[in-house]
Amino acid sequence: MTDADATSQPDPLSTASRDIAEVPAVEIISTAALHLMSAAAVNLGLAADLPDHKDLDEARSLIDSLAGLLDAAAPSLGHHHAAPLKDGLRSLQLAFREASTIQDEPGQGPGEKYTGAVYPSTTQRS
């Protein structure tokens, strides 16, 4: 390879940096949130192709991380983007409560330090 060949080829790192610079923060945050949601769902046994797989310790960590991310990013996301992600988080928290044989105290479940206690709709607390 000559010096001329080396300079004519784009640097892959610089290309990747340019590509990521063009992606809005809301899209990166939403993508990260969706990955956390998907992984939590799999570990709660909600995946169609792995219905018997349950790892509640992993699910708890993922739900905690998702709740922290959404709590920190909510002002930047705006209601339009944050609302469906928060709904998904609540669904995962309820699925965790349902899957767990030992119930957490209210406010102590995964992510509840960020969201407050989560209850099923039929037993909603005031």
Assess if residue 5 is contained within a domain.
no
pTM for the complete prediction?
Answer: 0.83
Assign 27 a pLDDT band (cuts: 50, 70, 90). Answer: very high
* Contact call for residues 55 and 43 (beta carbons, < 8 A): yes
φ, ψ dihedrals at 110, nearest 5°: -60, 125
pLDDT score at 6 = 55
Assess if residue 16 is contained within a domain.
no
Assess if residue 121 is contained within a domain.
no
Assess if residue 15 is contained within a domain.
no
Domain range for residue 29?
24-114
How many of the other CB atoms lie within 10 Å of CB of 44? 24
Split into its structural domains, the chain has a count of: 1
Assess if residue 81 is contained within a domain.
yes
pLDDT score at 103 = 93
Assess if residue 44 is contained within a domain.
yes
pLDDT score at 36 = 98
For the cut 80, the answer to whether the pLDDT of residue 1 exceeds it is no
For the cut 80, the answer to whether the pLDDT of residue 44 exceeds it is yes
In terms of Cα–Cα distance, which of 26, 27, 53, 49 is closest to 40? 53
pLDDT score at 125 = 52
Q: What's the mean pLDDT in 65-71?
A: 98
For the cut 80, the answer to whether the pLDDT of residue 77 exceeds it is yes
φ, ψ dihedrals at 27, nearest 5°: -70, -40
Assess if residue 122 is contained within a domain.
no
* Contact call for residues 107 and 113 (beta carbons, < 8 A): yes
How many of the other CB atoms lie within 10 Å of CB of 61? 16
19 burial via Cβ count (<10 Å: 0-12, 13-18, 19+):
exposed
pLDDT score at 122 = 67
